[in-house]
Homo-oligomer: A and B are copies of this chain.
Amino acid sequence: MKIILDGMGGDNAPESIVKGAVLASKETNAEIIIVGDEQKIAKLLKKAKAGDNISVIHATECIENNEAPVKAVRTKKDSSIVKGLNMVKNGEGDVFISAGSTGALLAGGLFILGRIQGIDRPTLASIYPVMGSEPSLLTDAGANPECKPNNLLEFATMGAVYMEKVIGRTNPTVGLVNNGVEENKGTTLTKAAHELLEKSNLNFIGNVEARDIPNGACDVIVTDGFTGNAILKTTEGMGLVILKEIKKCFTSSAFAKLGAVLTGKQLMAVKKEFDYTEYGGAPILGVKGALLKMHGSSDENAVKASILKAIPYVEGKVVDIIQDSTTDIETILLSE
């Protein structure tokens, strides 16, 4: 297996990318190919005493986060993202992993790898951490702010494949985000999507309310990208604010400080549960190739986790299974 890694994307590139690759290379026989500034990366690899299964492909350009994604992908032919995606397209790699611009990865996925036939809209599916339990997958996480009902059926289908093959969830439950659990509640979009999902072979449990998502309402959380983005970011914001307040109250008195010392280990465990990293990035599903987006601030452990999650992503033949499932989607849509 050949794993293509973007050496230049993310806040801590190329350092943490290289370090993460070295960490991962000790736990897998897969070949890891880092695309980016050859000189810099080779130096870092040498320093980290990298093994034989890591190599470098030179790329002279890098797409920045603030660039217009479509234009960047079209013009920066020698960027690490364009080069890496082309390698997957040409069979020189099995999966591309990047902590770079989400927009460029989505645009590149569409233009270079291409849409899977039968999938109207590829999705960015994000791992959603559930405290004290296994994570969910939220799809769409922001790639498609405006959706049609068939898009939500596609997201659900693709998300279920990923949760089963990569995260190892058996017969994953699928829930539709709605402003009430009752079937007759919702918008034109959610009502129509509900009907489609009911006709599917998915393990559809019906509508879920946002209140139950942090508590692990279902394995695959289906929603449009605008709502998905709002849910993910509210979750992130709440986590930050509450941890800040707790920290504040732990330093408010001598007694409280002592209390903090005594409970410190347990509270660190709570904080760690906010940590998305161990589940390895957000897959972009619906394109003709395995594509994984890491968080921009990924450290070496997050990079390592993403590389290791890329293995079941490839071995589980997620892309092929999604391709096969488009027949089911088509059947449901034709029955409308």
Chain A contact residues: helix, strand, loop or mixed: helix
For A240, the chain B residues whose CB sits under 8 A away are 211, 214-215
A231 x B229 contact (CB < 8 A): no
Task: Please tell me if A201 contacts chain B, counting CB pairs below 8 Å.
Answer: no
Task: Please tell me if A111 contacts chain B, counting CB pairs below 8 Å.
Answer: no
Task: Please tell me if A110 contacts chain B, counting CB pairs below 8 Å.
Answer: no
Residue from B209, B232, B242, B259 in contact with A262 in the complex, judged by beta carbons closer than 8 Å: B259
B266 x A262 contact (CB < 8 A): no
For A255, the chain B residues whose CB sits under 8 A away are 262-263
The contact size tier of chain A is 35 or more
Task: Please tell me if A91 contacts chain B, counting CB pairs below 8 Å.
Answer: no
Interface flags, A206-243, vs B, CB<8A=1, else 0: 00011111110000000101110111111111111110
B179 x A145 contact (CB < 8 A): yes
Task: Please tell me if A188 contacts chain B, counting CB pairs below 8 Å.
Answer: yes
A210 x B233 contact (CB < 8 A): yes
Q: From A2-10, A158-166, A246-254, A307-315, give the one contacting chain B.
A: A246-254
Residue from B190, B210, B242, B249 in contact with A263 in the complex, judged by beta carbons closer than 8 Å: B249
Task: Please tell me if A269 contacts chain B, counting CB pairs below 8 Å.
Answer: yes
Chain A to chain B: the 10 pairs with minimum beta-carbon distance, closest first: A259-B262, A249-B266, A259-B263, A210-B233, A211-B233, A238-B238, A259-B259, A214-B237, A211-B237, A179-B229
A-B contact pairs, 22 of them (CB 8 A): A146-B187, A179-B225, A179-B226, A210-B232, A212-B237, A214-B238, A215-B237, A215-B241, A227-B230, A230-B231, A230-B234, A242-B242, A242-B270, A246-B246, A249-B266, A249-B269, A250-B263, A255-B262, A255-B263, A258-B259, A258-B262, A259-B259
Contact residues of A with B, CB < 8 Å? 131-132, 142, 145-146, 177, 179, 186-188, 190, 209-215, 223, 225-227, 229-242, 244-246, 248-250, 252-253, 255-256, 258-267, 269-270, 273
